[in-house]
Structure 1
């Protein structure tokens, strides 16, 4: 194939659209550039010139947007997500333009919604799961797309992508997408049609009613 297509250079060691072409080896080392990129952004901002409101805007609009593209394709290791959270938290609590401020409140509380007393900041791990769940939802909504057909022919040709699929040679991209299967199943409800592919005992096809709504 190399001779037919006239390929003269070997690839796989660079990056495409900011994502490494090769994902072999330690995933912590592969995705360490995401941490370095966010660290360079936060250290370049002068915290002493920003109010708390300005810091909130910078974190929500810039800091969390840096790893968004790679997190929509792959599951970042816990080591990387913890360092991303640490970099943002240090920027939030610093007061003199340098890191090392006192962390008065747990970061998990700041990630709660404002109605619950937080600031609505994004939890990196939950945001990563939500972006991967969006990709899994694309497989459900657009089964005829090239994206869905490639994965179907490789991993769930005769089954359903929401069912546990045992594969011994799956790519890291596929393993990342199906890691969000539990989140999609939480809010998934089936529409009853002909009834050929639905189980009335196990499949979620009836809306869950609250205790106040039950008669």
Structure 2
């Protein structure tokens, strides 16, 4: 509480990202934080960022979900406690699918049994003694959305219900063919007929012959299967579709859990390494129009006369103060002339005598 009196908001953001957001990583990587704890942690960070002195409470100018958005999307890059907790617990689902020979993995497989294909454990339904893995498995339900499969022997990958060919499920991409399939739970190796070590053909079975209007969809299915094959000497493995190296990372899952934003934000202009953090923070507030000018104070219920203190002609707003005010234009013109003079002076210094 006392430290925030002596550092700027730019320094507070640095301290939040380096300390307050990282103290709880070990606990969040194993346990699911209760909602009360999560809200309390976020409240501490909010009060530290926007607060004044020890007993002084200031207005929170920007909504906390926007503060937790990445800087490239207009936020401050502070980690959201809930999303970060889910991303850390999701790593165990990835490890469960890849570290099959580990002791902890074998214990969980024996106790809770394996799900379809052996990539996940079955849901823990007992009332006692399963709180730890039950929470991890529940949080891990988001992970399969970003998982794909690389087919080896094809024994543990479903032909219709797993993402092993491109990024779509065959049951969703070809719903009419899936409805006609004889075995909707068929594995990839059951649909493949080997004709040598590196040769074979795909033979999915259907309940009836195809009609003329269904042949186009059959052709698209065969195009998707073109070049795909089963390798008996290799095992099936999981790949992470949200990264280039196909390896899971908490960072990639955390970014995938963030809300999608199509708005462009001038990241490199505002968060410049040559500019002091407190100035960058003020520009960030101004870009969202959240500076406490007189017009915003009136919206919050303050009985004030809205008059610009510089020109005394127009109402005070963030656009008027920084762009349209006559005195502000004089400052910008003087600064532009100074920059032109400084640039020409530096060019002359670089020229040889």
Question: TM-score if structure 1 supplies the norm length?
Answer: 0.70
Distance 2:28 2:91 in 1: 11
Structure 2 segments unaligned to the other structure (5+ residues): 169-353
**Structure 2 residue 41 is matched with structure 1 residue 77:** no
Match of 2:43 among 70, 86, 102: 86
Q: How many residue pairs end up in the alignment? A: 166
Q: What pairs up with 1:1-215 in 2 under 5 angstroms?
A: 43=1, 46-98=3-55, 100-156=57-113, 160=118, 162=120, 164-168=122-126, 169-208=128-167
State whether residues 123 and 137 of structure 2, in contact with CA within 8 Å, keep that contact through their aligned partners in structure 1: no
**Structure 1: gaps of 5 or more residues:** 1-42, 210-215
Distance 2:129 2:158 in 1: 29
**Aligned-partner Cα distance in 2 for 1:123–1:186:** 20
Distance in 1, matches of 2:166 and 2:5, equals 51
Match of 1:12 in 2: none
Q: Distance in 2 between matches of 1:141 and 1:98?
A: 51
Q: Give the number of the structure whose alpha-carbon radius of gyration is greater.
A: 2
Q: Deviations over 1:9-60 (max 9, x none)?
A: xxxxxxxxxxxxxxxxxxxxxxxxxxxxxxxxxx4x5101111221111111
Deviation track 1:109-161 (CA, whole Å, cap 9, x = no partner) reads 01111111101111100000011011221212211112212222211257635
Preserved contact between residue 86 and residue 140 of structure 2 (Cα < 8 Å): no
Return the alpha-carbon distance in structure 2 between the equivalents of residues 182 and 164 of structure 1. Answer: 11
Compared CA separation, residues 158 and 75, structure 1 to 2 (3 A): closer
Assess, with a 3 A threshold, how the Cα gap between structure 1 residues 164 and 139 changes in structure 2: closer, same or farther.
Answer: closer
Q: Is the 8 A contact 1:133 1:177 kept in 2?
A: yes
**Inter-partner Cα distance in structure 1 for 2:133 and 2:106:** 13
Partner of 2:237: none
3-state DSSP of counterpart to 1:175: helix
Change (3 A) 1:167 1:197: same
Whole-angstrom CA distance in 2 between matches of 1:116 and 1:128:
21
CA drift at 1:76: 0.9
* Two-structure CA RMSD over aligned residues (Å): 2.0
For 2:153 and 2:56, locate their aligned partners in 1 and report how far apart those are by CA, in whole Å.
61
Aligned-partner SS, 2:5: helix
CA distance in structure 2 between the partners assigned to 1:158 and 1:200 by the alignment = 16
Give CA deviations for 1:34-91 in whole Å, capped at 9, x if unaligned.
xxxxxxxxx4x51011112211111111101121111111111111101111111111
CA distance in 2, matches of 1:201, 1:129: 28
Call closer, same or farther: CA 1:167–1:92 in 2, change over 3 Å: same
